[in-house]
Chains A and B, each alone.
Chain A
């Protein structure tokens, strides 16, 4: 693979370890950072998510893929506490997370981004970044009146924020309102802001959605860089080229279940994955299927 000469030591290590792992749904991994068991979320009668068992290998870049409505974002919401499952248990670093408030999940080191970017529009780019830092003394209401208590920490945070912005080539924008950024820049900002929390596991929900191709390459490099610095990355993505390029392991969901797991090259050739994406009848012409327009109720004559 041409890309392999760009791989860092942690990438090679993760790929070597995962190369030993069987390619089947729910397979155990040697050193999982995240383990989920029997996580079920129903919306009415529909089981939007029904995951029997899944593990995410520490130090890996794992992609979570699947057709629209497969339940990928719901899994993110459930695991990070933004939504509550009907049943199920999951652990992060061995710590049970069921019922833990989302802000506590983030503090434990499991930080997510959102599919619809949540840049804090009327805050400057730099303030967006600073907000990500945890354990800030100045965030206590009484301490805000005593700046000498937090000024030095604020300077450290600002230095760290500028460092990250520089890495993401956003430093010239630091004084701009986040709302004035382009879609791609917002994605970058959101990722950089999540890094301010100091995550062990960063969960990116469609980091490439709406990003122009010119930015895509640099975003990919940033995600690889995050892993080389020691974090684990779990991301949802539709862009198969991207998944192929950066992920060590791919988990495929369809209709709420995990239907396949494995390295990207293997998974994408899996017939059940191709079926899930394109439908079992994708070789037939559309007019042959039972869902043609003319048979729908109230259809045109």
Chain B
């Protein structure tokens, strides 16, 4: 049993590319759900829009990444408008229903046979994506510390990714403590009260939906650039629910919640997986097959998260006093 390896893997993944992608998606959910109270259950659609924008523009059309990024932003805003315009005037639950359906529509659309020439069907889009970005990589070689190992390529993505998250977190922090942030938090508590004070809440909800969607889309862009492959079945609703888990783990409506939440979530997931793997190899758990690890780690992590919700329902950064107040 190599505990050092288990820890190393866990730490590497906890601050790795996947954690960055989920952190961005969760930052979007935090903006929408945590601060504004919008139940967007289709965050994965925004991630898919980001990833597929890069895939289509760069691989299918052979154009540059620097064009794909603004197009992904544009597509993300369009998606938010399409989801928001009909639903944001209605009660909160409608947005939840529409967004979860829309995220599945997006996934079925990108894997459809009819659009296979452009979107790659079930195989997705594979190939060099974001060469321009990787050409800027200043690191000469792979990175290896006892507990932290990245390929040269991943290291560059990780550093740029966390730097981006740092900048975006600062912007969100400024946003939520401004009068604008006060309005969206008011909407979360009681929309009609905010309307009665003369605020056009529809506009604020739309802004929050767009902003949160954009954060998810940036996660999708990083996905494509880092993994050089986008496949429709990566974008299942689970992604959305992981993002919600991360938000609740870190503490909803906390600026640093998604960051800490994403790190802890991926640490736990990888740690449990690698630990089980090692334990099975060491012959400690004869009744298990290596293929059982996938489901079991989710069961164990799920139990852990449930305990967290029972014993610390406000999440890591949350304020229990605040949670005790009934939101409505």
Contacts and interface: CB of A to CB of B under 8 A. Distances in A.
Contacts of B211: 141
B196 A123 contact: no
A152 to B, nearest CB: 13
Interface string A117-155: 011111100011011101011111101110100100010
Contacts of B198: 103-104, 106-107, 111, 134, 197
Interface in B180-206: 180-183, 185-186, 188-190, 192-201
A32 interface: no
A113 interface: yes
Given A114-B196, A123-B186, A194-B196, A147 B178 contact: yes
Contacts of B180: 138-141, 143-144
A71 to B, nearest CB: 19
A115 B211 CA distance: 34
Contact of B179 (A101, A106, A130, A145): A130
Nearest to B208: A141
Contacts of B181: 144
A82 interface: yes
B195 A139 contact: no
Contacts of B91: none
Nearest to B170: A145
Contacts of A150: 178-179
A39 interface: no
A144 B186 contact: no
Contacts of B192: 82, 114, 118
A120 B185 contact: yes
Given A145-B175, A177-B321, A179-B326, A111 B196 contact: yes
Contacts of A112: 196
Interface size of B as a range? 20 to 34
B144 interface: no
Contact of B186 (A120, A136, A143): A120
Contacts of A113: 196
Contacts of B78: none
B190 A118 contact: yes
Given A120-B185, A130-B182, A114 B193 contact: yes
Interface size of A as a range? 35 or more
A102 interface: yes
A196 B211 CA distance: 29
A221 interface: no
Interface string B57-88: 00000000000000000000000000000000
Nearest to A181: B325
A278 to B, nearest CB: 33
Contact of B196 (A80, A130, A177): A80
Contacts of A134: 197-198
A104 B192 CA distance: 13
B194 A131 contact: yes
B322 interface: yes
B197 A132 contact: yes
B197 to A, nearest CB: 5
Interface in B108-122: none
A257 interface: no
B207 interface: yes
B138 interface: no
Interface in B139-186: 171, 174-175, 178-183, 185-186
Interface in B293-328: 321-322, 325-328
Contacts of A140: 180
Nearest to A82: B192
A177 B189 CA distance: 12
Given A102-B195, A177-B322, A193-B197, A138 B189 contact: no
A138 B204 CA distance: 13
Contacts of A121: 189, 325-328
Contact of B197 (A82, A177, A179, A197): A197
A143 B327 CA distance: 28
Contacts of A154: 179
B178 A138 contact: yes
B174 A131 contact: no
A128 B185 CA distance: 10
A46 to B, nearest CB: 23
Interface in B191-233: 192-201, 207, 211
B179 A111 contact: no
Contacts of A111: 196-198
A180 interface: yes
Contacts of B196: 80, 82, 102, 106, 111-114, 118, 194
B327 A145 contact: no
B175 A141 contact: yes
Interface string B239-280: 000000000000000000000000000000000000000000
A150 B190 CA distance: 25
A197 B179 CA distance: 15
Contacts of A107: 198
Contacts of B188: 122
A144 B178 contact: yes
11 contacts: A103-B200, A106-B195, A106-B198, A118-B192, A122-B188, A130-B182, A138-B178, A145-B175, A147-B174, A150-B179, A197-B198
Interface of B: 171, 174-175, 178-183, 185-186, 188-190, 192-201, 207, 211, 321-322, 325-328
Given A114-B192, A147-B174, A147-B178, 15 more contacts: A82-B196, A102-B195, A106-B195, A111-B196, A120-B190, A122-B322, A122-B325, A131-B197, A141-B175, A141-B211, A144-B174, A150-B179, A177-B321, A194-B197, A197-B198
